[in-house]
A and B are shown apart, each in its own frame.
Chain A
């Protein structure tokens, strides 16, 4: 039922885009966590999480997102989110995630932002 799909794309300047597709529950959350930490461990300069294909997020999924945000702040890595649906944007506002991460409408905008701040 859940579509376990996380893909990673390497962009310019050591910036990676991680695409999270499907229902962001604990399974997909773990997958996402692994992908992001994999990128960071491999020396990625920054990560854009692209939520365009994320159809639903539940609270467990959100807690994974929060975990990633905290971890990235600890390591001073740069993180940005993009292509959130309205409801997902709202969820990130309700849970306070959006106070710590910049949200962008498109992947291009996020990449431009990261390229400047890295």
Chain B
């Protein structure tokens, strides 16, 4: 059996994605070819892990293999061998080394190597080609192995008669991961170099050695008196031009689009290191993300670097670069703030204090991150606090203690400046009112069609500047552009994702369905920000757009599934209006909002009163229908209960009846959560209120209530759920089909108001 590890690197090497390194390659190639005339040298390639040393060696191997046939013999036989940390025992290493050498030699000679990767068989094959010395050699190796004499076996393997090619070929050693040879059991550091010494010195066997721990390697070379025979080549990031080129095949393969002007920035962000670029491309393709502009790229980049569950590659990087667990966590958190939240840092001291760390520890972390190119551009365009959006974020973070225990002076001073900015604070109440009114109106949308001009401040202003109200109303009606609103199933205020941060901090987030059809395809999310300041800043729009993209990325929304809407009251610069248009953000000014509200029978907020309840349903009126979609998450059933309470309030039901309905709906939801095995993780509820009854539907898309088989939860439950429901409401029926289970519950209201329940004593309403 052929061992896979040294082959692994060769398999994952994609020549088509190898870019740049022209200088290094030609220098190395020259060294290798000089072996022909006995003046070949040896080279030590060094550089940090993952920088591309292996790729360079493999590319060199390819180049050597594809030399033009015309060149006179002897020709180079490039032998690539990667020392592995697994092979720390000299016997295992010697065995594997020989296998690899013989196998690659056979392939080089144009033989088809034996299927079984067995030394004897390899030897036979070579012997058949006249390489008889191989057999004697092998029998010696076997003897040492049987005796367990590791050092002799190793000396034997590495003093293989490499010169058997005579005038036809000569080996070129491409030794990768050489740092592992210093960890061989019971063998001194430079043993291998010592064995290979005559070959190295001869000039006929060029050797390219690569390793990420050059200190160790050079010291053992020095000890062996070989240091002078080695040239040193440092491998760093690619040249900017080469790393930009490297994007093209990476993106093509994965069908990712990136505008050309972004490529330089993207390459710089990844330190011009090819493997990072590849990993980034993989990440983007995995997320199916799009990078149409800087914001798109930065978001994906930030996600790929700082995602809570870091991907394997970044995790490895952080583990290698920052071994201390606590510091690593700090570094990741710090990066999140810097990259995701565009946290401003004007000094390194600021950065250290943000990490809550001493300057010594901080210096190490920053240099690790800088090496990776993670920080470069952030430190380049550092700008300080004048930005209201950032200040908002800081204030938010400060309030919630997100900034850590040693709250940095930076943040504290920002918070102070924020607090001293009285006007904003005064606007707080107004802001909440505006958001509240918008929320109420969105609930009433119900698939209605409204003039598109209500969402397009730019066109609205152009068309109606200086016009009277009547003219505007008529103009709006006459305008052909219409927008079909969704049916909103829930609106939440101050939506925040679990992972925290200001990234998802919208004033309102509404879930709705196009065409009123509650299906996954028709789901739309409306993200809404409300601005009550005197003028709306373009930074605020950028920030909003940024959060929107992150939201749709995280939620995996398709284009068109996220509607972005900014409501504002003050003035807007034409450039801000343009910006919103470019990002496809709906922009509605207070004047438009008044008209909008009017369409839904709502008044402006100055009146200051609570919005009036619609009239109570009377006999003969159409039933009122409410719908809600719940995620199957612990405690969301309480939301369903709250909605039930609100719905019941329309009919002025007595408290006891309301409580029973709440309990019944809670139980039905819990049942759906626990027993449905739903795929989508959603439960749909409908509340239908008529003068005679309240009808509740709880519908999931699972496989139906499975009678539980003695598992813990079921024991706890003891089947109370359904029993309670049947006690709490007047009728229950459960229908289970292919598409899930629906529990329908009916509570009769008899006289229509309050007296419906068995205990109609209205205490404590």
Contacts and interface: CB of A to CB of B under 8 A. Distances in A.
The answer on A and B forming one complex is: yes
Contact of B721 (A56, A59, A64, A85): A59
Contacts of A91: 663, 724
B662 interface: yes
Interface string B719-761: 0110110010000000000000000000000000000000100
Contacts of B723: 94
B580 to A, nearest CB: 35
A94 B727 contact: yes
A106 interface: no
Interface size bucket, A side? Answer: 20 to 34
A95 B670 contact: no
Nearest to B657: A87
A23 B670 CA distance: 14
Interface string B145-164: 00000000000000000000
B656 A59 contact: no
Contacts of B662: 56
A25 B721 contact: no
B656 A58 contact: no
A63 B716 contact: yes
Interface in A60-118: 60, 62-64, 66, 85-87, 90-91, 94-95
Given A56-B666, A60-B716, A63-B717, A95 B724 contact: yes
A1 interface: yes
B9 interface: no
A43 B430 CA distance: 56
Contacts of A64: 716
B581 interface: no
A86 B639 CA distance: 21
Contact of A56 (B655, B656, B663, B717): B663
A66 to B, nearest CB: 8
Interface in A18-76: 23, 25-27, 56-60, 62-64, 66
B638 A87 contact: no
B716 A58 contact: no
A27 to B, nearest CB: 8
A2 B635 contact: yes
A1 B637 CA distance: 10
Contacts of A27: 634
A91 B724 CA distance: 8
Nearest to A64: B716
B666 A1 contact: no
A62 B716 CA distance: 9
Contacts of A58: 637, 663, 666-667, 670
Contact of B659 (A2, A25, A62, A85): A85
Nearest to B716: A63
B300 interface: no
Contacts of A56: 638, 641, 662-663, 666
Contact of B635 (A1, A86, A90): A1
Nearest to A93: B727
Contacts of A86: 655-656, 659, 759, 763
B718 interface: yes
Kindly name the residue among B660, B716, B763 whose own CB sees the greatest number of chain A CB atoms within 10 A: B716
Contact of B670 (A1, A60, A66): A60
A59 B660 contact: no
Kindly name the residue among A25, A27, A60, A85 whose own CB sees the greatest number of chain B CB atoms within 10 A: A60
A59 B638 contact: no
B495 to A, nearest CB: 14
Contacts of A63: 716-718, 720
A91 B667 CA distance: 12
A23 B666 CA distance: 11
Nearest to A86: B656
Given A1-B638, A59-B721, A62-B720, A87 B670 contact: no
Contacts of B663: 56-58, 87, 91
Interface string A5-29: 0000000000000000001011100
A62 B718 CA distance: 10
A10 B667 CA distance: 34
B714 to A, nearest CB: 10
Nearest to B636: A1
A86 B760 CA distance: 12
A95 B723 CA distance: 9
A94 B718 contact: no
Nearest to A57: B663
Contact of A87 (B639, B660, B721): B660
Nearest to B718: A63
B638 A60 contact: no
A25 B718 CA distance: 15
Given A87-B656, A95-B724, A2 B717 contact: no
B666 A94 contact: no
Contact of B638 (A23, A66, A85, A95): A23
A59 to B, nearest CB: 4
A60 B670 CA distance: 9
Interface string B650-678: 00000110011011001100100000000
A95 B660 CA distance: 14
A60 B717 contact: yes
B668 to A, nearest CB: 11
Nearest to A23: B638
Interface string B624-635: 000000000011
Contacts of B670: 58-60
Contacts of A57: 663
A85 B660 CA distance: 12
B641 A59 contact: no
B534 to A, nearest CB: 37
A59 B720 contact: yes
A60 B637 CA distance: 13
B717 A87 contact: no
Contacts of B666: 56, 58
Contact of B667 (A59, A85, A90): A59
Nearest to A26: B716
B683 to A, nearest CB: 15
B338 to A, nearest CB: 32
B759 to A, nearest CB: 7
Contacts of A26: 716
A63 B721 CA distance: 11
A59 B724 contact: yes
A85 B655 CA distance: 11
B635 A95 contact: no
B747 to A, nearest CB: 13
B381 to A, nearest CB: 41
Kindly name the residue among A27, A58, A60, A66 whose own CB sees the greatest number of chain B CB atoms within 10 A: A58
B717 A25 contact: no
Contacts of B717: 59-60, 63
Nearest to B674: A60
Contact of B724 (A1, A23, A25, A94): A94
27 contacts: A1-B635, A1-B636, A2-B638, A23-B635, A23-B638, A25-B635, A26-B716, A27-B634, A58-B663, A58-B666, A58-B667, A58-B670, A59-B717, A59-B724, A60-B717, A62-B720, A63-B716, A63-B718, A64-B716, A86-B655, A86-B656, A86-B759, A86-B763, A87-B656, A91-B724, A94-B723, A94-B727
Q: Sorted from nearest, which 10 A-B pairs have the closest CB atoms?
A: A87-B659, A59-B720, A1-B635, A63-B716, A94-B727, A59-B721, A2-B635, A58-B666, A1-B638, A59-B667
Given A2-B635, A59-B720, A59-B721, 11 more contacts: A1-B636, A2-B634, A23-B635, A57-B663, A58-B670, A59-B667, A63-B716, A63-B720, A90-B660, A94-B723, A94-B727
Interface of A: 1-2, 23, 25-27, 56-60, 62-64, 66, 85-87, 90-91, 94-95
